[in-house]
Amino acid sequence: MKSMKIAVIPGDGIGVEVMEAALHVLDSLDMEFEFMEADAGDACLERTGTALPEETLEVVGESRATLFGAAGESAADVIVRLRREFDLFANLRPVKSLPGVPCL
């Protein structure tokens, strides 16, 4: 079976912890993945002078999917640029009502 390339961008703050958990889940599947880590976010901005380096865009462009953790103050810069570069037009946020749980 051919492995699926997945760009992994932990980003900042809780993104690092969330990404570790997500990768643990994917590792438990009976599938082949090639995880390609890339950098983005506030820490990246402080280190490199840009919140979303060209190298990260290249990694995302070479992948079949991208996992993005979180970004701090630079989140809008990172997310908007990723959407524009890769012609992404939807920001889906699934919602599910649970029986017995009051909701609006």
**Every domain of the chain and the residues it spans:** 4-85
d(CA 9, CA 74): 14
pTM exceeding the 0.75 threshold for the entire prediction: yes
pLDDT of residue 1: 63
pLDDT: which is higher, 96 or 35: 35
Strand partners, 7: 36, 66
Residues 69-96, mean pLDDT to the nearest whole number? 88
Mean pLDDT on 60-74: 94
In this predicted structure, what is the pLDDT of residue 91? 75
Q: Is the pLDDT score of 96 beyond 70?
A: yes
